[in-house]
Structure 1
Amino acid sequence: MKLIALGAFALASLAAGTASAQNATPINHGAPITGVCIYDNEEVLARSTAGQSVQAGMQRLLTEVQGELAPYSSTIQAEVTALQQGGEAADPGGTRRQALQARAQEAQQLQQTRSNELQYTQGVQLQAIGTAVEPIVIALYQERGCSILLNRSAIYSANPAMDITPTAIERLNAALPSLSFNRLTPPAQPQQ
Structure 2
Amino acid sequence: MRHGYRKLTIGDIAERAGVGKGTVYLHWRAKHELFEALLMRESIALVDELLDELRADPAVIAPHRIFPRAFELTARRPLVAALITGDTDLLGKLASDSNLRSYKLLANDRGYQVLVRNGLLRGDLPSVQYALQAVITGFYFYDSLDPVTGARLDQGTKSQLLAHTIQQAFECAEPGRLEPAAAEFIALMEELADNYRKSIYSSDPGTG
Give the TM-score of the pair, scaled to structure 2: 0.30
Higher normalized contact order (CA 8 Å, seq sep 6+, divided by chain length): 1
Structure with higher Rg: it is 1
Give the TM-score of the pair, scaled to structure 1: 0.32
